[in-house]
Chains A and B, each alone.
Chain A
Amino acid sequence: MEPDVSIETSCMIRIAVLPVGTVPASVLRDYFSMFLRHHTIPLAAISSFYTEHQKSPFAHQPWDAGSIRFKFLLGGAPPSPWEDFQSNRKILAVIGICHCPSTPDLDSAVEQFTAACKNYSSALVQRCFAFCPCDSQLEDGGKKEDVLRLFPPADHQTLDIHLQTMMQEIAASLLMDFEKWVLKAESAGTILKTPLDSQASLSSEEVLKAKKRRLGRAQKTIGDYCLLAGSPVDASAHYSTALELARLTGDFFWYAGALEGSVCALLMDRVGHVDVVLEDEVKYQYNNVILHYRKSFIQDNAQRVSPLSFELEATLKLARFLCRSKLSKDVVELLTNAADGGKSLIDVNDRLVLFVEIARLFGTLGYQRKAAFFSRQVAQLYLQQDNKFAATSAMQVLAMTTKAYRVQSKASVSDPPCTKKQTGPSHTDSGKMHHHLIVSLFESQWSTLQMVVLREILLSAVRAGDPLTAWSAAARLLRQYYPLITPAGQNGLASALNNSAERLPSGTRSADPALPFVRLHSFPLHPSQMDIIKRSPAREDWWAGSAPSGPFIYTPFSKGEPNDNSKQELVWIVGEPVQVLVELANPCAFDLRVDSMYLTVHSGSFDAFPISVDLPPNSSKVITLSGIPTSVGPITIPGCTVHCFGVITEHHFRDVDNLLLGAAQGLVLSDPFRSCGSAKLRNLSVPSISVVPPLPLLVSHVVGGDGAIILYEGEIRDIWISLANAGTVPVEQAHISLSGKNQDSIISIPYETLKSVLPLKPGAEVILPLTLKAWQLGPMDFEIGGGRAATSGSTGRQFKNASVPTLLIHYAGPSTDSEDATIAKVSNLPPGRRLVLPLHVCVLPGMSLVKARLLSMEIPAHIGDGHPKPVHEEEDPASETVEESDRKMEKRLVKIDPYRGSWGLRFLELELSNPTDVVFEIGVSVQLDGTDDNNLPIDQDGNSEYGYPKTRIDRDYSARVLIPLEHFKLPVLDDSFFMREFCNEGSTSSSRSPSFSEKNTKAELNASIKSLISRIKVRWQSGRNSSGELNIKDAVHTALQTSVMDVLLPDPLTFGFRLTRDNSSPQQESGSKDSVLANDMAPMEVLVRNNTKEMIKMSLGISCRDVAGENCIEGGKSTVLWAGVLNGITMEVPPLQESKHSFSLYFLVPGEYTLVAAAVIEDANDVLRARAKTDSPDEPIYCRGPPFHVRVLGTA
């Protein structure tokens, strides 16, 4: 059988093209392709070379429209035993190709050519074409005009024209030779035989029949020559004669041949005008041809020779003819029959040709799967021949089938980027895709077939000695079908990969990745030290709005912003190393060593760092791949380059993503990652990465170690933070802000220090001082803190991180680095950065306040006359503090003046406990702020604090600290305090809501309490460098809540007593000046001070009691006589003034007496009523002074 047969084959003149001398293969191919262009020579073109020697037998030669066709056979072909039967099988001309530059000796070339021509006895024309001769060869070759044709050196086009002329000349000589042959054949009858004709049958045949048969065969052959000469009409005439004779003689084989020729002649005649009628005619005739070939089958010589191949050829010819008009059903039928017939073909090569042709025809029809099927049959036939060339052919044929079986090598897939790009990112984005699209990704998962095909490719490639193809096939097999391959098979494939790699030069690349499976795990965000913040050029605080603000992860307002879509952006910086986490999986049963692996970036603007990995069987591993971007611009990372099994391959993340998607849908055999025990990864969206120019980079550390700062509650400490610019660009803007919990624990922030050092040059360092005050631990903190003490480690860390304040430093380099500032500002302002600096503060529970309460202490004053205080300040605690402040400042003690007592003195008692294992010292100080100073006429010399002696609290002990509250009385009782209360009282009648007024009062109270509390500071110190402040606010607040008015406000009237005796009295000097002698007249004064801003009218009364509390002025047993008025004294005291009233007492019995002054205020105003908390306006307001002690000494 012959390949590439068609109906028109019968009219083609075969010309053997032989290389003469040494012709390089590429040059030969080049020359041959030039020949191929001249396969059809129009008859009109050859008339100049044609001379009619005698009357042409081709009477109906169409000189104007006809043509002669050539079929060039490179290298020639051995003579066929069937060339008598079909003249087109004869090699009718031989052309030698001589490439002069490589064949200098033309003589030997001619000799060689002549020798070669001897093999082609049927050749009518022999020519040797010598291309590109040099001058000497030109001269030399001129002598051998008859055989050798020298082509002058010229360009390709000129050469082509030369060649055309030569071919026309050949065509003309062939035509003349055909005429000669036909004339001879017509006259003398030639014996025409085929292998079908047995010797015996020919000799014993009866003569007449043999003669007729011979005549018919001669007519058929003449028809063949007519066809070759390009005269279909003549051919038809001869064929019809031949058909008649063949039918008569029962020569079915030749009948079929003649019929074939007549169909060809018909087609030739009607060239270009194929219609349905013609088609049907051809179909009918050819079916006849096939039938007659089948009839000619003779059983007795079937073992030796069979007309089957002609039947099949005819079938293929018809199929090819019908293919053109896409009558696929008929073609399929014909081809299926042909394939069936192939079984009976004796020659393996015939079967090979048959299957190749069937595959080609199916391919032409668009039946790729059918074509692939027969191609595989061809490959199997090749593989049955045990030689390297057959294996190579098998490999190449199988490579053609890979597309239909969808196992093609990536190298052969020409357009994956554009087609896959459309589906790839879209599904990774959405995570969901239309189902049919997913399915189409895994179309035709005929795993059995695919594995068989790949295995055959591997086998043929190994046999053919093509290590790269073998490697690629084994890689595809292993990567895609590992779940279907036994561990032994997997090991076999691994060794096949390694064996192939050994034969490959190192650094060979393959388009098909093998193992491991690589998927993108994550893009680690910049560590908080290097966060990149987009700058909004319009704002001064460019960092604002770049990060989500507020406590909510999701805010409805941010929806619809452009950055809201799932495609997040990643910014990399030139020169700063970046990391990408990828996950590797080795689902196979062998140890996998990845020699090196790095990220692939096609733009070349990325320096990737290779690493090597070992993967045990059935394992997966997350590794970090890193690299440095080297130039500005967008960057994409399609995958990574892996050097494994000795070959470099590129692994695309997208492919694995698709694979995993298919696995999730149950369309792919197995998920390699899950089978390795790796957790399911959420669908990672690949961010769009852009690389920006270098940015400054601040690196921070806490001076004195980055460890946690351990503070007790309330402790105040200064820390220093060192910031250094590790980048290559100066920091030009920087701003500190706070975030996180317990922000108020940072007392001072060195804004100015930072501002003053800008711009911070690369390499420069600045130290920022910061004052911290440890916060209070809440109940939750206590629990966790307690747990941390017990356990340690992780929980403690968590707790620490959860509650520490964080320092955010936003900084940026120069806003523009080019002169076109305006453009840059709009388009791409280099981003700024944020340094997140969590202050690792660990707060330990320190001293704790158990409770606070208010105590009052009443010590009666002694009556004396020597104390040097100004009259107007008497009995006024606030004034007293001022007056005696100097002294108190020195001793830092509460000094109770015995002459004044401390009636109404109140103490705040703080009960403190120390649960820690260190000793605390407590110091209380009271701050006097500016508002008080204004009211006080005498100020302390710049010193605004009172200190009290320190209290030491040992560990696990509690202690109480008393804080006198005497300093807080206001000097004047005026209506400012009650302003609101008046309003309320006035408005109670006018239907004002009482609850509202109460609330106001409460607020007023709270304000005053707050101001009071804020002036009391309880500081503590522990060890040498721990000191802090106790937060007592809440405790004091609750303690004071009820009685703040009493503490804060002075009484409207204050009373005082003193002795008024003349200083010259000797007794006075000898005795204690504050005592009174019995049985002596003791002149005294009562001082009444008005603390209000109104004139107060009152009725004053004085009473005296002894130690037993009996009234000793009135009653029957009175022991004290008196002179002057003691009761019902009517007095008027001007505002903020004092009045005195003198009287004398005469004590009969020595001992302790108590004098008490009391007054009933008349015409009291609202202020007084409010102070006295009277219920009704008619109620008298009664004021009682503190008791005063009088010690009466005996005279003895």
Chain B
Amino acid sequence: MATTASFIIVSRNDIPIYEAEVGSATKREDAAQLHQFVLHAALDIVQDLAWTTSAMFLKNIDRFNDLVVSVYVTAGHTRLMLLHDSRNDDGIKSFFQEVHELYIKVLLNPLYLPGARIASSHFDTKVRALARKYL
């Protein structure tokens, strides 16, 4: 498992709808903030890059210091973004695909308003389990 990993789902309106620190490193508040800042900044890159390729998985699109950002863009332009320091591309790709499925399940919930925060604790548990498995 990666020492540092920060996972975030950004809706098509650029609002983070799910955030999780999934790294094994001890959690520090300022580090978490930095992760968010980096991910937020990486949105600019994704925004351009997403339209240049048909792939959903955009690996290592941005980096700051030793933190790398990989992104998985869904068809609805929801972005699953992972900030990581490991180079386990296959694991990350699998992680994204599985989380995408989970996200689709959330979307299928008729009570879930697309674009709103994902508050489901079940989703959270599953995402963290996937992170343990793949990252």
Contacts and interface: CB of A to CB of B under 8 A. Distances in A.
B115 interface: yes
A421 interface: no
19 contacts: A328-B48, A329-B52, A332-B45, A336-B62, A339-B64, A343-B65, A368-B44, A370-B45, A373-B40, A374-B41, A376-B37, A435-B115, A436-B13, A446-B16, A448-B19, A448-B36, A452-B37, A666-B113, A666-B116
Contacts of B16: 445-446
B43 interface: yes
Nearest to B48: A328
A439 B115 contact: yes
Contact of A442 (B15, B33, B38): B15
B14 interface: yes
Contacts of B62: 332, 336
Contacts of A665: 113, 116
A444 interface: yes
Contact of B41 (A373, A439, A440, A444): A373
Contacts of A452: 33, 37
A1047 interface: no
B24 to A, nearest CB: 21
Contact of B32 (A367, A444, A448): A448
Smallest CB-CB A-B distances: 6 pairs: A373-B41, A367-B44, A666-B116, A439-B13, A369-B44, A370-B41
B63 interface: yes
B13 A369 contact: no
B15 A667 contact: yes
A367 B115 CA distance: 23
Interface string A338-353: 0110010000000000
A373 B37 contact: yes
A202 interface: no
B117 interface: yes
Contacts of B11: 439
A440 B13 CA distance: 7
Given A367-B44, A369-B43, A372-B41, A336 B15 contact: no
Given A367-B45, A444-B14, A436 B115 contact: yes
A372 B41 CA distance: 8
A435 B45 contact: no
A225 interface: no
A374 B113 CA distance: 34
Nearest to B34: A452
A443 B64 CA distance: 25
A307 B38 CA distance: 28
Contacts of B115: 435-436, 439, 667
Interface in A428-464: 435-436, 439-440, 442-446, 448-449, 452
A447 to B, nearest CB: 8
Contacts of A374: 41
Contact of B33 (A328, A367, A405, A449): A449
A362 B13 contact: no
Given A435-B115, A666-B116, A445 B48 contact: no
A1159 to B, nearest CB: 97
Which of B37, B43, B116: most chain A Cβ within 10 A? B37
Given A339-B64, A446-B40, A439 B15 contact: yes
A777 B52 CA distance: 84
B107 to A, nearest CB: 14
B44 A336 contact: no
Contacts of B114: 435
A440 B14 CA distance: 9
Contacts of B49: 329
A240 B41 CA distance: 42
Given A445-B15, A452-B33, A369 B116 contact: no
B15 A443 contact: yes
Interface in B1-51: 11, 13-16, 19, 32-33, 36-38, 40-41, 43-45, 48-49
Nearest to A372: B41
Contacts of B64: 339, 373
Contacts of B36: 446, 448-449
A966 to B, nearest CB: 84
Nearest to A666: B116
Given A435-B113, A442-B15, A369 B33 contact: no
Given A328-B48, A369-B43, A376-B37, 5 more contacts: A332-B45, A366-B44, A444-B15, A452-B33, A666-B119
Nearest to B43: A369
A449 B35 CA distance: 10
A436 B64 CA distance: 32
B49 to A, nearest CB: 8
B126 to A, nearest CB: 21
A666 B15 CA distance: 12
Contacts of A369: 40-41, 43-44
A449 B37 contact: yes
A727 B12 CA distance: 60
Which of A329, A336, A449: most chain B Cβ within 10 A? A449
Contacts of A336: 62-63
Contacts of A343: 65
Contacts of A448: 19, 32-33, 36
Interface in B73-123: 113-117, 119
Contact of B63 (A328, A340, A446): A340
Contacts of B13: 436, 439-440, 443-444
A372 B38 CA distance: 10
Given A376-B37, A452-B33, A329 B117 contact: no
A458 to B, nearest CB: 15
A449 B40 contact: yes
A1044 B66 CA distance: 113
A452 B29 CA distance: 11
Interface in A356-400: 362, 366-370, 372-374, 376
A332 B19 CA distance: 26
Contacts of A667: 15, 115-117
B9 to A, nearest CB: 13
Nearest to B35: A448
Contacts of B14: 443-444
A480 to B, nearest CB: 14
Nearest to A447: B16
A449 B33 CA distance: 7
A449 B43 CA distance: 14
Contact of A362 (B33, B38, B44, B65): B44
A484 B112 CA distance: 23
Contacts of B43: 369
Contacts of B52: 329
Given A362-B44, A373-B41, A667-B116, A340 B65 contact: yes
A373 B43 CA distance: 11
B54 to A, nearest CB: 17
Interface string A653-674: 0000000000001110000000
A490 B70 CA distance: 36
Contacts of A444: 13-15
Nearest to A667: B116
A445 B43 CA distance: 14
A994 B30 CA distance: 102
Contacts of A445: 15-16
A443 to B, nearest CB: 5
A665 B17 CA distance: 13
Which of B14, B62, B119: most chain A Cβ within 10 A? B14
Nearest to B119: A666
A439 B114 CA distance: 10
Contacts of B37: 373, 376, 449, 452
A443 B10 CA distance: 11
Nearest to A373: B41
Contacts of B45: 332, 367, 370
Contacts of B113: 435, 665-666
A718 B63 CA distance: 92
Nearest to B114: A435
A329 to B, nearest CB: 7
